Amino acid sequence: MAENAEMNWYVVHTYSGYENKVKANLEKSVENNGMQDLISEVQIPIEEVVEIKNNKRRVVPRKRMPGYVLVRMVMTNESWYLVRNTRGVTGFVGTGSKPTPLPDSDFASLMESATTTHVDITVGDEVRILSGLFENFTGRVTEIDKENMKIRVMVPMLKRETPVDLEFDEVLRLES
Protein backbone atom coordinates (compact mmCIF):
# COMPACT_ATOMS: atom_id res chain seq x y z
CA MET A 1 0.00 0.00 0.00
CA ALA A 2 1.28 3.48 -0.78
CA GLU A 3 2.52 5.39 2.26
CA ASN A 4 0.34 8.47 1.63
CA ALA A 5 -2.82 6.59 0.66
CA GLU A 6 -5.75 7.35 2.93
CA MET A 7 -8.61 5.09 3.99
CA ASN A 8 -11.98 6.72 3.31
CA TRP A 9 -15.59 5.62 3.46
CA TYR A 10 -17.34 5.29 0.10
CA VAL A 11 -21.01 4.67 -0.61
CA VAL A 12 -21.67 1.78 -2.98
CA HIS A 13 -25.02 1.40 -4.73
CA THR A 14 -26.46 -2.14 -4.83
CA TYR A 15 -29.61 -3.81 -5.99
CA SER A 16 -32.23 -3.22 -3.32
CA GLY A 17 -32.47 -6.20 -1.00
CA TYR A 18 -28.97 -7.46 -1.92
CA GLU A 19 -27.06 -5.39 0.67
CA ASN A 20 -26.19 -8.37 2.92
CA LYS A 21 -25.20 -10.52 -0.05
CA VAL A 22 -23.00 -7.73 -1.47
CA LYS A 23 -21.33 -7.29 1.95
CA ALA A 24 -20.59 -11.04 2.19
CA ASN A 25 -19.38 -11.29 -1.44
CA LEU A 26 -17.16 -8.23 -1.09
CA GLU A 27 -15.60 -9.44 2.18
CA LYS A 28 -14.92 -12.84 0.60
CA SER A 29 -13.36 -11.25 -2.52
CA VAL A 30 -11.12 -9.03 -0.37
CA GLU A 31 -9.94 -12.07 1.57
CA ASN A 32 -9.42 -14.23 -1.53
CA ASN A 33 -7.44 -11.50 -3.32
CA GLY A 34 -5.42 -10.51 -0.24
CA MET A 35 -6.56 -6.90 -0.43
CA GLN A 36 -7.16 -6.32 3.30
CA ASP A 37 -4.68 -3.42 3.16
CA LEU A 38 -6.85 -1.64 0.55
CA ILE A 39 -10.37 -2.54 1.72
CA SER A 40 -10.67 -2.73 5.50
CA GLU A 41 -14.39 -2.68 6.31
CA VAL A 42 -17.87 -3.09 4.82
CA GLN A 43 -20.89 -1.77 6.74
CA ILE A 44 -24.65 -1.66 6.28
CA PRO A 45 -26.22 1.16 8.33
CA ILE A 46 -29.02 -0.34 10.45
CA GLU A 47 -31.45 1.23 12.89
CA GLU A 48 -33.64 -0.39 15.51
CA VAL A 49 -37.35 0.21 14.86
CA VAL A 50 -39.95 -0.35 17.56
CA GLU A 51 -43.18 -1.54 15.96
CA ILE A 52 -46.36 -1.52 18.00
CA LYS A 53 -49.05 -3.57 16.32
CA ASN A 54 -52.15 -4.90 18.06
CA ASN A 55 -50.60 -3.74 21.32
CA LYS A 56 -47.54 -5.95 20.86
CA ARG A 57 -44.13 -4.27 20.95
CA ARG A 58 -41.41 -5.65 18.62
CA VAL A 59 -37.92 -4.34 17.97
CA VAL A 60 -37.00 -4.88 14.33
CA PRO A 61 -33.69 -4.04 12.62
CA ARG A 62 -34.14 -1.95 9.45
CA LYS A 63 -31.67 -0.74 6.88
CA ARG A 64 -31.19 3.03 7.09
CA MET A 65 -30.19 3.26 3.43
CA PRO A 66 -31.80 0.46 1.42
CA GLY A 67 -29.80 -0.21 -1.72
CA TYR A 68 -26.50 1.10 -0.32
CA VAL A 69 -23.44 -0.34 1.42
CA LEU A 70 -20.56 1.61 3.00
CA VAL A 71 -17.00 0.50 2.21
CA ARG A 72 -13.86 1.76 3.96
CA MET A 73 -11.05 1.59 1.45
CA VAL A 74 -8.07 3.18 -0.23
CA MET A 75 -9.21 4.16 -3.72
CA THR A 76 -6.90 2.53 -6.27
CA ASN A 77 -7.64 1.04 -9.67
CA GLU A 78 -7.46 -2.46 -8.14
CA SER A 79 -9.75 -1.72 -5.19
CA TRP A 80 -12.21 0.16 -7.42
CA TYR A 81 -12.28 -2.76 -9.86
CA LEU A 82 -12.81 -5.32 -7.08
CA VAL A 83 -15.73 -3.42 -5.55
CA ARG A 84 -17.29 -2.40 -8.86
CA ASN A 85 -17.23 -5.98 -10.17
CA THR A 86 -18.72 -7.58 -7.06
CA ARG A 87 -22.00 -9.30 -7.87
CA GLY A 88 -24.96 -7.05 -6.95
CA VAL A 89 -22.98 -3.77 -7.04
CA THR A 90 -24.30 -1.22 -9.55
CA GLY A 91 -21.71 1.48 -8.87
CA PHE A 92 -20.22 4.03 -6.53
CA VAL A 93 -21.92 7.22 -5.42
CA GLY A 94 -20.07 10.25 -6.72
CA THR A 95 -19.85 12.80 -9.48
CA GLY A 96 -19.41 11.35 -12.93
CA SER A 97 -17.24 8.25 -12.85
CA LYS A 98 -15.23 9.42 -9.81
CA PRO A 99 -16.39 8.03 -6.44
CA THR A 100 -16.72 10.68 -3.73
CA PRO A 101 -15.50 9.83 -0.21
CA LEU A 102 -18.05 10.15 2.57
CA PRO A 103 -17.02 12.71 5.22
CA ASP A 104 -16.31 11.11 8.62
CA SER A 105 -19.04 13.24 10.24
CA ASP A 106 -21.64 11.86 7.79
CA PHE A 107 -20.44 8.31 8.42
CA ALA A 108 -20.71 8.83 12.19
CA SER A 109 -24.25 10.15 11.92
CA LEU A 110 -25.26 7.20 9.71
CA MET A 111 -23.83 4.65 12.12
CA GLU A 112 -25.01 6.17 15.42
CA SER A 113 -27.70 4.09 17.00
CA ALA A 114 -31.16 5.51 16.72
CA THR A 115 -34.49 4.00 17.55
CA THR A 116 -37.66 4.98 15.77
CA THR A 117 -41.18 3.86 16.54
CA HIS A 118 -43.91 2.78 14.15
CA VAL A 119 -47.42 2.37 15.42
CA ASP A 120 -50.45 0.90 13.63
CA ILE A 121 -52.66 3.77 14.84
CA THR A 122 -53.48 6.88 12.81
CA VAL A 123 -55.21 10.15 13.60
CA GLY A 124 -58.98 9.59 13.61
CA ASP A 125 -58.82 5.96 14.80
CA GLU A 126 -61.00 4.81 17.67
CA VAL A 127 -58.94 3.35 20.53
CA ARG A 128 -59.52 1.72 23.89
CA ILE A 129 -57.37 2.84 26.82
CA LEU A 130 -55.68 -0.12 28.49
CA SER A 131 -54.38 1.34 31.76
CA GLY A 132 -54.41 4.29 34.09
CA LEU A 133 -57.22 6.57 35.24
CA PHE A 134 -59.17 6.18 31.98
CA GLU A 135 -58.82 2.37 31.70
CA ASN A 136 -61.46 0.80 29.40
CA PHE A 137 -62.61 4.20 28.10
CA THR A 138 -62.73 4.61 24.33
CA GLY A 139 -61.84 7.71 22.38
CA ARG A 140 -60.69 9.16 19.10
CA VAL A 141 -57.00 9.82 18.32
CA THR A 142 -56.37 13.50 17.51
CA GLU A 143 -52.58 13.68 17.66
CA ILE A 144 -49.59 11.33 17.40
CA ASP A 145 -46.17 12.46 18.70
CA LYS A 146 -43.74 9.80 17.43
CA GLU A 147 -40.71 11.59 18.86
CA ASN A 148 -42.00 11.38 22.45
CA MET A 149 -44.04 8.20 21.81
CA LYS A 150 -47.29 9.86 22.95
CA ILE A 151 -50.84 9.82 21.61
CA ARG A 152 -53.54 12.37 22.38
CA VAL A 153 -57.02 10.83 22.63
CA MET A 154 -60.29 12.74 22.98
CA VAL A 155 -62.38 10.84 25.53
CA PRO A 156 -66.10 11.67 25.80
CA MET A 157 -66.88 12.45 29.44
CA LEU A 158 -69.82 14.31 30.97
CA LYS A 159 -71.16 15.40 27.57
CA ARG A 160 -67.81 16.88 26.48
CA GLU A 161 -64.59 15.59 25.04
CA THR A 162 -61.52 15.57 27.29
CA PRO A 163 -58.00 15.34 25.82
CA VAL A 164 -55.90 12.57 27.38
CA ASP A 165 -52.17 12.11 26.62
CA LEU A 166 -51.07 8.47 26.65
CA GLU A 167 -48.06 6.31 25.80
CA PHE A 168 -48.17 4.23 22.58
CA ASP A 169 -48.55 1.00 24.54
CA GLU A 170 -51.45 2.28 26.68
CA VAL A 171 -53.97 2.16 23.83
CA LEU A 172 -55.38 -0.50 21.54
CA ARG A 173 -56.86 0.36 18.15
CA LEU A 174 -60.45 -0.80 17.80
CA GLU A 175 -61.35 -2.63 14.62
CA SER A 176 -63.83 -0.76 12.42
Encode pLDDT of 64-113 as tens digits.
889 999 999 999 999 999 999 999 999 998 887 789 898 887 887 777 76
pLDDT band at 55 (very low <50, low <70, confident <90, very high): low
Q: What angle do CA 93, 97, 98 make, to 5 degrees?
A: 70
Distance CA 49, CA 153 (A): 24
Q: Residue 3 has what pLDDT?
A: 46
pLDDT of 2 > 60? The answer is: no
Range in 93-107, 113-127, 147-161 with the lowest mean pLDDT: 113-127
pLDDT band at 34 (very low <50, low <70, confident <90, very high): very high
Contacts 24+ apart (CB under 8 A), 136-141: 137/164, 138/174, 139/164, 141/171
- Show me where the domains of the chain are located: 8-117, 121-173
pLDDT of 28 > 90? The answer is: yes
Q: Residue 121 has what pLDDT?
A: 83
- Whats the size of the chain, residue-wise? 176
Residue whose C-alpha is closest to residue 28's, from 89, 81, 83, 74: 83
Q: What is the CATH number of domain 121-173?
A: 2.30.30.30
Distance CA 118, CA 46 (A): 16
Distance CA 25, CA 28 (A): 5
pLDDT band at 116 (very low <50, low <70, confident <90, very high): low
Amino acid at 11: V
Residue whose C-alpha is closest to residue 137's, from 162, 100, 107: 162
Question: What's the CATH fold of domain 8-117?
Answer: Alpha-Beta Plaits (3.30.70)
pLDDT of 117 > 70? The answer is: no
37-46 pLDDT, tens per residue?
Answer: 999 999 998 8
